[in-house]
Amino acid sequence: MKVTSEELKAQAGEAAAARVADGQVLGLGTGSTVRHFLRSLGQRIRDGGLQNVSGVPTSEWTRDVAAGEGIPLVDLREGTRLDLAVDGADEVCPRLNLVKGLGGALLREKIVAQAARRFLVIVDEGKVVPSLGVSKPVPVELIPFAWSSHFPFFRRLGAAPHLRTREDGQPYVTDNGNYVADLTFPDGLTDPTEVEDALRARAGVVTSGLFLEMATEVLIGGAGGVRSVVRGEAGAWS
């Protein structure tokens, strides 16, 4: 019987929730895989199996879902000890570099992941790619001012840019009041670091969905169960 990608996401999310220990402060990612993590984490808390756990949400969506699951929420500020961030991804390559942000929460997700001691990524096996940018566009969060003026710059990077829009055709607006351009690289990214450095240097670009050298471990839900790949052991997918 074929296992659905939703079931694989659930496996990865539940495996991540099982890793959480008493007293931890967590980064709570965004997306359908994280939804499973939050459900399972909330269940552990409500059952009394976890004490003194709290989380920093990476989106308003996550804030609502986590609150509904009874997960205590805290703000990320100076002095906050963030033990573990858990989040999904749109692509994961063998070096454990990621494309994230198709859900639009890339900026807060990156802030939280950078602040965490460990960054655990949860995906179904359909997210595993040989190199970044082959199956998904790379999202870029932009301030709305002069947004289209960046498009020639994105094209010079080798990308076809599209402003993300809502169903009514209006620009999609992030939780931070910004726009998102999705950059499609027809042949994938040959040098993600070069692209990330160029994007970072561009005034008006707030951040990109390239999460490079950040994940410490990836849990991959697959037909044979959940597989863990730890940074440093990456490169062996099979």
Residues classed as catalytic: 109
Q: How far is the CB of 234 from ligand 5RP (least distance, A)?
A: 19
Of the two residues 50 and 109, which places its CB atom closer to ligand 5RP in the complex?
A: 109
* SS3 of residue 14 by DSSP: helix
Residue-by-residue DSSP string for 124-189: EGGGB-SSTTSSS-EEEEE-STTGGGGHHHHHHTT-EEEE-B-TTSSBP--TTS-EEEEEE-TT--
The Cα angle at residue 181 between residues 175 and 187, in degrees rounded to 5? 135
Residue, CB closest to ligand 5RP? 103
Q: How far apart are CA 3 and CA 6, in angstroms?
A: 8
Q: How far is the CB of 195 from ligand 5RP (least distance, A)?
A: 17
Which residue stretch of 18-26, 104-112, 159-167, 175-183 sits at the interface with ligand 5RP (rule: CB under 6 A)?
104-112
Q: Return the residue of 55, 103, 133, 137 that touches ligand 5RP, per CB under 6 A.
A: 103
Interface of this chain with ligand 5RP, residues 134 to 153, rule: CB under 6 A: none
Q: Return the residue of 25, 38, 65, 102 that touches ligand 5RP, per CB under 6 A.
A: 102
Q: How far is the CB of 126 from ligand 5RP (least distance, A)?
A: 9
| Residue 34 · residue 15 · CB < 8 Å | no
Record the tokens describing residue 6, joined without a space: 């939703």
* SS3 of residue 209 by DSSP: coil
Q: Return the residue of 14, 16, 33, 188 that touches ligand 5RP, per CB under 6 A.
A: 33
Q: How far is the CB of 213 from ligand 5RP (least distance, A)?
A: 17
Beta carbons within 8 Å of 163's beta carbon, 6+ residues apart? 147, 148, 171, 179, 180, 181
The Cα angle at residue 102 between residues 132 and 83, in degrees rounded to 5? 85
Which residue stretch of 24-32, 44-52, 161-169, 189-197 sits at the interface with ligand 5RP (rule: CB under 6 A)?
24-32
* SS3 of residue 7 by DSSP: helix
Of the two residues 32 and 54, which places its CB atom closer to ligand 5RP in the complex?
A: 32
Interface of this chain with ligand 5RP, residues 40 to 99, rule: CB under 6 A: 87-90
| Residues in contact with ligand 5RP by the rule CB under 6 A | 29-33, 87-90, 100-106, 109
